[in-house]
C-alpha cells in the first residue's frame, strides 16, 4: 500500500528537485515490466489508463468507462471532498501466497506543476497513518544504510522503509526503491520492494502479533516479498486545475496471515476513502491559504 500513501501525500511545494522523464524512470519500467515474482509466478500491475497522448474526448470517455456512466464521471470530477473514487481488486493464488492486484482512480483539484513527490514525502514521513485498525509508517532510509546494498544517495532515486501493523495480528517491514518522473501532462511515482534488503539488520520481513491486555508478543521473523506499484497523476485536458490520479499495484499476502481470506482486502476501500478525503482537505486548505496570501 506504500504507493497509495505516497500518492495521497501530494502537497504544494516549489519545484526544486531534479526529476526524470518517464522513459528514464527505471523503477516505473521495472514495476510495469516485471512486477513481482511469487512461487514462480510473475504478476505485474496494469498499465496506465490515461496516456499523455490522449485527447480531452478520449480522457472523458475513459473516465466514463471507469465511473460506469456520464453522471458517475461528473460526480468523480466534482470538487467535493467526498467525491467518489473507484477501486477494483483481483486475486491470484500461488502455492504459498495470495497476490492482490488493484486499480484505484480519483480526481483532485491541484496545479500539476506544483506537485513534487520527494518534497511531499519529506513533509509527511514519520507521520503515522491509521485506518481500518491498521497503521502505516514510512521513513526515508538513511544514506549510511544504503552502503549495505552498495548504493549511494541520489537525487532521482530514494529508498523508503515502511512499517505496517495489520489488524493487531501482523507486523511487517519492507524497504522500497522509489522514483518519480514528470512529463508536460503527468507525474509518476513508482515503488517496488527491494530484494537486496532481504538480509542485514533491516530486512523485508513479517511476524505474527499476539496481543493480550498490555502485552504484545511477536512471532518468528519470516521473509516478506512486499509488492510493486505506481501512481500516475495526469492533467485532465479542458478541466483547469483538475488531475486524475490512478494507482496500480500488486502485493504478496502470505497464506499464513489470514488463510487466504479477504480480511485485509476488505479494508482497502476504507483506507482509500480516508486517505483521499484527507488529501483533498489538505489541498483545499493549501489553496485557500495561497489565495489569501495573494490577496493580502
Q: How confident is the model at residue 12 (pLDDT cuts 50, 70, 90)?
A: very low
- Could you give the angle at the alpha carbon of 270 between the alpha carbons of 49 and 210, nearest 5°? 125
Eight-class DSSP state of 45: P
267, 86 in Cβ contact below 8 A? Answer: no
State the greatest distance between any 2 C-alpha atoms of the chain, in Å, as a whole number: 63
Residue 286 has pLDDT above 80, yes or no: no
Q: What is the pLDDT of residue 134?
A: 84
Domain coordinates in residue numbering, the chain: 2-295
Q: What is the pLDDT of residue 42?
A: 95
Domain spanning 2-295: CATH 3.40.1180.10: no
* Strand 36-38 versus strand 86-93 pairing type: unpaired
Q: Render pLDDT for 191-220 as a digit per residue (tens, 0 to 9).
A: 999 988 877 667 899 999 999 998 999 999
* Strand 129-131 versus strand 158-166 pairing type: unpaired
Q: What is the pLDDT of residue 100?
A: 95
In whole angstroms, what is the distance from residue 2 CA to residue 162 CA?
7
Residue 254 has pLDDT above 80, yes or no: yes
Q: Please indicate whether residue 272 or residue 84 has the higher confidence score (pLDDT).
A: 84
Eight-class DSSP state of 154: -
Q: Cell digits for 62? A: 475513459
Q: Please indicate whether residue 262 or residue 201 has the higher confidence score (pLDDT).
A: 262
Q: What is the pLDDT of residue 70?
A: 96
Average pLDDT along the chain = 85
In whole angstroms, what is the distance from residue 92 CA to residue 259 CA?
14
Strand blocks (E) in the chain: 36-38, 41-43, 86-93, 97-109, 129-131, 134-140, 158-166, 170-182, 186-193, 205-212, 215-218, 222-223, 227-235, 242-254
Q: Dihedral angle at the C-alpha atoms of 291, 292, 295, 296, nearest 10 degrees?
A: -150
Which region among 18-27, 241-250, 279-288 has the lowest average model confidence (pLDDT)?
A: 279-288
In whole angstroms, what is the distance from residue 74 CA to residue 23 CA?
32
- Tell which residue, 191, 194, 206, 207, has the closest CA to residue 148: 194
Q: Render pLDDT for 65-107 as a digit per residue (tens, 0 to 9).
A: 999 999 999 999 999 999 999 999 999 999 999 999 999 999 9
Amino acid at each position: 500500500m506504500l504507493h497509495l500513501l505516497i500518492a495521497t501525500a501530494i502537497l504544494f511545494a516549489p519545484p526544486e528537485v531534479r526529476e526524470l522523464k518517464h522513459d528514464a524512470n527505471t523503477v516505473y519500467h521495472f514495476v510495469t515490466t516485471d512486477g513481482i515474482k511469487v512461487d514462480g509466478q510473475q504478476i505485474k500491475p496494469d498499465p496506465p489508463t490515461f496516456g499523455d497522448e490522449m485527447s480531452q474526448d478520449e480522457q472523458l470517455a475513459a473516465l466514463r468507462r471507469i465511473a460506469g456512466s456520464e453522471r458517475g464521471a461528473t460526480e468523480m470530477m466534482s470538487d467535493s471532498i467526498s467525491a467518489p473514487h473507484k477501486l477494483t481488486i483481483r486475486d491470484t493464488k500461488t502455492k504459498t501466497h495470495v497476490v492482490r492486484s488493484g486499480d484505484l482512480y480519483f480526481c483532485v483539484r491541484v496545479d500539476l506543476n506544483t506537485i513534487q513527490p520527494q518534497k511531499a514525502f519529506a513533509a509527511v514521513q514519520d507521520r503515522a497513518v491509521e485506518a481500518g485498525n491498521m497503521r502505516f509508517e514510512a521513513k526515508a532510509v538513511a544514506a549510511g544504510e544504503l552502503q549495505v546494498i552498495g548504493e549511494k544517495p541520489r537525487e532521482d532515486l530514494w529508498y523508503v522503509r515502511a512499517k505496517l501493523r495489520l489488524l493487531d495480528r501482523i507486523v511487517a517491514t519492507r524497504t522500497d526503491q522509489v522514483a518519480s518522473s514528470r512529463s508536460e501532462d503527468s507525474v509518476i511515482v513508482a515503488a517496488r520492494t527491494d530484494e537486496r534488503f532481504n538480509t542485514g539488520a533491516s530486512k523485508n520481513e513479517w511476524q505474527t502479533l499476539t496481543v493480550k491486555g498490555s502485552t504484545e508478543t511477536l512471532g518468528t521473523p519470516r521473509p516478506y516479498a512486499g509488492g510493486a506499484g505506481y501512481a500516475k497523476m495526469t492533467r485532465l485536458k479542458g478541466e483547469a486545475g483538475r488531475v486524475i490520479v490512478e494507482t496500480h499495484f500488486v502485493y504478496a499476502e502470505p497464506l499464513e496471515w489470514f488463510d487466504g481470506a479477504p480480511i485485509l482486502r476488505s479494508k482497502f476501500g476504507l483506507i482509500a476513502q480516508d486517505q483521499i478525503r484527507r488529501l483533498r482537505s489538505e489541498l483545499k486548505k493549501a489553496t485557500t491559504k495561497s489565495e489569501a496570501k495573494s490577496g493580502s
